[in-house]
Every structure is written in structure tokens, then in C-alpha cells.
Chain A
């Protein structure tokens, strides 16, 4: 390992060291030290995000024999993963099902999962991609089924694990076909070798099949049709803070890997920051269809949900569909729009999950009916929830509107009828989503509580974090320049 490779890997090393330290402390001490573990874990997350700073200006280094790269994309995503981990640890500290006896394991698994996420975002080799995706998977199965005494938890974990195993098996078969056609595993070499094969060659059908198989792995990670069915069950079963993490971080990693894979292997740079998909494999059309199917399914299925965690799960499927539009646009602007969307999505979606959690801890149910009249019982948290939900819908002046706008703009910048159709379907879907988000808001503000209940007390620190997330949602919706500029720089990795 050369010294530049060492610096490139420093964020991951910090996370792993913290995980090891927590294991050792937990084995050595007789007491439960919940606070110590969360400080160690959260501190490691913050430190790993800070270690990225020196990489911002000289990040363009491939390392480990071109298996991993440290570029604008990975430098952008590591702080995102770290903040998701930090928020998850903060909100896990008092969750009963997590803290009873095994909080150390929980934090360790979270940290190792974060390592997997960062490696997925920087993998430029099929083998590394597979290994890091499995690292995410193995830790996430365990975290989903974390409470073995709750039937829902283990059931969600099993469904997640089986879907994951099948999806990664199919992806592997596709990878083996790609390897067979080219003899290469690294993206650059794959792209060169596949680019030399013309459309009429006998391998073109095989290439298409291989790409479809590899897509299974990606669609599973971002919870898109047809590998989306695990999503509501796993979110409902998992401890809520981890469900929040799962709805954002693996999705972001999946999108990063998807963009990196398809842009380097299956497309050629064109004029004006736009790319052209190679004609052997019509993957752009396939992704377009998946995008439409995903957002439509997610929104329609969310309408009938009564459980808020399931509702947010279906809404997260729909959001994966929106973000896929940015990939289908196949341009630098599209990639930047997806990255900006991921940041805002992290803020508003994790915020929404955490509100559900703090309320459900007191009312012991996640049904919408339990939220009736919450506006009076818990004014500040309810206001935050309203901000998150409106932002998820994409209503100005919230950040969700701004990033969705850039997503649509990137799609419409491409000339062609299909892009217009895609954008129109996206807008219609946003309208549908307003219905079910507004249903929750109606329960909070326009319905009286079912029975007179005492005020709900939420620890001040948690309220402060929720308020911070809400302020960010509003702030980025009014003053979006910094976010958009940073996101524009991310697409320079292409």
C-alpha cells in the first residue's frame, strides 16, 4: 500500500479502527457503555468525513491496481454516508430494541456497513463492486433482524436477505458473462473491449443479457422495480433509526455505482457534457422503463398504506424512480441533479423517519391514526414533520422542490420526445404523491386526537436535531446555490 493509497483509504480505516475499539471495549468491560459506544461511533463518522477534506482538490487518484478510485464522486459521498451514520447513531441511543444489551454490536455493524458504502462508491472493478455490495448486504441483514424476539424484525430480515442473495447471484452471473466476453474486470478495460464490438456481432445479444443481469444487483440496492418487494417489509421490521439509514445510504451507494458502471463501460462522451449510450446495449431505454415503473408503482402503492413506515418505504421506492430519471438523462447535469437530490433526500427522509420514531416510542404504534391531533400535542416536532413531508412532495419553498426541479431540467435538456414523456410522467407522479403526504398532514393538523392524551415529551437534544434538519430543508430550498455548485463539481469525475 503506497502512501497515497493509504490516504485514499483513511476514512475507511478510521471507521474500521473505531469498530475494532468498540468490540474490544465491549468484551473487556462488564457494564453496558451505551454513551461511550455512540461517542466512539459518531466520532469515527465525523472524523472520516473530515479526512476527505484534503482529498477534495487532489482526489484524482486510482489506487490498488485501478480497483478503486478516489475522485469527485467518492469524495462527495463519503461525508454523506458519514452523516447518515452519525444521525442513525444519535437516534438509536435510546431505542429499547437496540440498546438492550447489544448496542456495541449495533454500532459495530453500522460502522462496517459504512465502510462497505464508501467502497461501493469508489469501486472501479467488478470484483470490488461485488465484495463491497456484499459487505453492505451482510451487515444490513443483521441490523434489520436485530431484535430476534420480535417476529416482524426477523421476518423483515429474512425477506431482505433472500432478495439480496438472489439479486447478487443474478448480478454475478451477468458479471461472469461480461468477464467471458472481454477477459477483463476493471471498468476502463471492459469499456474499451466492449466498445470494440460492433452492433451486428454475435455477442451483442449476450451483452444485452449480461447488462440486464447486472442491473438486478443495482435495482435491488436502490429498491427499484423489479427488485423492490423487500423494501416495505424490511423497513417496517427494522429498528426505525436503521430503517432511516437504509432508505438513504445504500440507495446513494447504489446510484453512485450505477452511474460509474454505465457511464464508464457503456457510454461514450459526446458534446456539451452529454453522453451517448453505445448502440449494442439499449440500457438507457431499459433504465427509462424501470424509472417510470418504479415511481408509478411506489406512488400508487403508498396511497393505501396505514402504517407510516410502510408509507415512507413506498415513497422511497418512488423517489428512487425520480432519481433514475437523472441517470437516464445521461449527462453531467443529470448526474449532478441526482447527487444534489440525494443530499436533500437524506435530510428530509431521515427527518421524517425520526419523527415517526419519536412519536411511535410514546404511542407504541406507527399507524397514521396515532398521529391524529399531533399538531397540538407536539407542536415543534409536528412542524418539522410537515416541512419534511412537503419537501418530499416537492413543493416550494422547500429543498425537495429545488432538487426535483433540477432533475426535470436535466431530463428536458436532452432533445427528444421520450425525454418529454418521461418528465411528464414524473410530474404526474409528484401530483399523486401529494395525496398521501397530505393525508398524513391532515391527520396531524385537522383531526382531533382519538382520545384525550397527555402531551408527548421528546428529549430536547432530539428535538434540536430534528429542528436542524427542518431548517436545512427550508434553507436549501431558499438558498440552493452552495448545494448546486458542489453537485455540479461532482460530475467532473466523468
Chain B
């Protein structure tokens, strides 16, 4: 397996995630798109750290970064889902298009 193939998968994941974020109307689906984007970055970091450095002493910084991203993605999802829950209780919908209390 070459680094190119891993990077291609990551690029495709990133594009799918961005497409999902831009087109989905449901707030939860948008969050899933964000998750794809974050994991694309993760894949990049892990791939780069495995394919650079010498054998036996790989570049670990990228892996550390990936672990941090996983943790923060969970934290971010928790906060965002809490807000979505509050919205659902308040308005009975999580469709982004229906959220137009704030519009001039």
C-alpha cells in the first residue's frame, strides 16, 4: 500500500463530508458530515506519520494529533447534540431550514 492510495481515500472522504455538510438539511446529518471531514484529516495524519520517519522510529507527532482529534470530535459532538436536543424540545424540529427565528 502506498501513501498515495491512503491520501486518495482521505481526499474522497473529505469531499463527501463537505458535500454532506453543504446539502443536508437535518442538523444531525450535518454533524455526520463534519465527522467525515475530521476523519479524513485523521487518516491523513496517520498516513503521513507512518510513511515518514525511519523504520523503528516513526514520526509520532501525527499519531498524537490524530488521537487528539478523536477526543475533541467526541467533545464537539456532545456539545452540538446537546444544543440540537434543546432545539428539538423547543421547536419540535431539527431541520436547519425551519430554524428561522433569527432572520432580519
CA A390 – CA B89 in complex, angstroms?
Answer: 43
Interface presence of B12 (CB below 8 A): no
Q: How many A-B residue pairs have CB under 8 A?
A: 127
Contact check, B45 vs A179: say whether CB atoms are below 8 A apart.
Answer: yes
Interface presence of B16 (CB below 8 A): no
Question: Looking at the complex, which one of B33, B48, B102 makes contact with A179 (CB distance below 8 Å)?
Answer: B48
CA A87 – CA B87 in complex, angstroms?
Answer: 30
Contact check, A161 vs B14: say whether CB atoms are below 8 A apart.
Answer: no
Question: Looking at the complex, which one of B14, B31, B72, B84 makes contact with A131 (CB distance below 8 Å)?
Answer: B72
Given A152-B102, A162-B31, A141-B83 contact (CB < 8 Å) = yes
Contact check, B14 vs A154: say whether CB atoms are below 8 A apart.
Answer: no
Given A172-B41, A173-B44, A127-B68 contact (CB < 8 Å) = yes
Interface hub of B37, B40, B62, B86 (most chain A Cβ within 10 A): B86
Interface presence of B91 (CB below 8 A): yes
Interface of B is mostly: helix
A267 to chain B, nearest CB (A): 24
Contact check, B90 vs A154: say whether CB atoms are below 8 A apart.
Answer: yes
From 57 to 92 in chain B, residues with beta carbon under 8 angstroms from any chain A beta carbon are 59, 61-62, 64-65, 68-69, 72, 75-76, 79-80, 83-84, 86-87, 89-91
- Chain A residues near B18 (CB-CB < 8 A): 170
Question: Looking at the complex, which one of A159, A166, A180, A306 makes contact with B21 (CB distance below 8 Å)?
Answer: A166
Contact check, B68 vs A177: say whether CB atoms are below 8 A apart.
Answer: no
Q: How large is the interface on A (under 10, 10 to 19, 20 to 34, 35 or more residues)?
A: 35 or more
Contact check, B84 vs A158: say whether CB atoms are below 8 A apart.
Answer: yes
Interface presence of B99 (CB below 8 A): yes
Contact check, B79 vs A176: say whether CB atoms are below 8 A apart.
Answer: no
A339 to chain B, nearest CB (A): 29
Interface presence of A101 (CB below 8 A): no
Interface presence of A142 (CB below 8 A): yes
Given A158-B27, A173-B37, A152-B101 contact (CB < 8 Å) = yes
CA A218 – CA B31 in complex, angstroms?
Answer: 21
1/0 per position for A117-140, CB-CB distance to B under 8 A?
A: 000000000110011001001100
Minimum CB distance partner of B91 in chain A: A151
- Chain B residues near A185 (CB-CB < 8 A): 61, 65
Given A154-B83, A158-B87, A162-B80, A180-B48 contact (CB < 8 Å) = yes
From 419 to 455 in chain A, residues with beta carbon under 8 angstroms from any chain B beta carbon are none
Contact check, A166 vs B104: say whether CB atoms are below 8 A apart.
Answer: no
Contact check, B80 vs A161: say whether CB atoms are below 8 A apart.
Answer: yes
Question: Looking at the complex, which one of A138, A170, A310 makes contact with B79 (CB distance below 8 Å)?
Answer: A138
Contact check, B38 vs A169: say whether CB atoms are below 8 A apart.
Answer: yes
Contact check, A138 vs B75: say whether CB atoms are below 8 A apart.
Answer: yes
Minimum CB distance partner of A185 in chain B: B61
Contact check, B40 vs A149: say whether CB atoms are below 8 A apart.
Answer: no
3 tightest CB-CB pairs across the interface, nearest first?
A169-B37, A176-B44, A172-B41
Complex A-B: 13 CB contacts under 8 Å: A127-B61, A127-B64, A134-B72, A134-B76, A137-B76, A154-B87, A158-B80, A161-B80, A166-B33, A169-B41, A179-B61, A183-B52, A237-B102
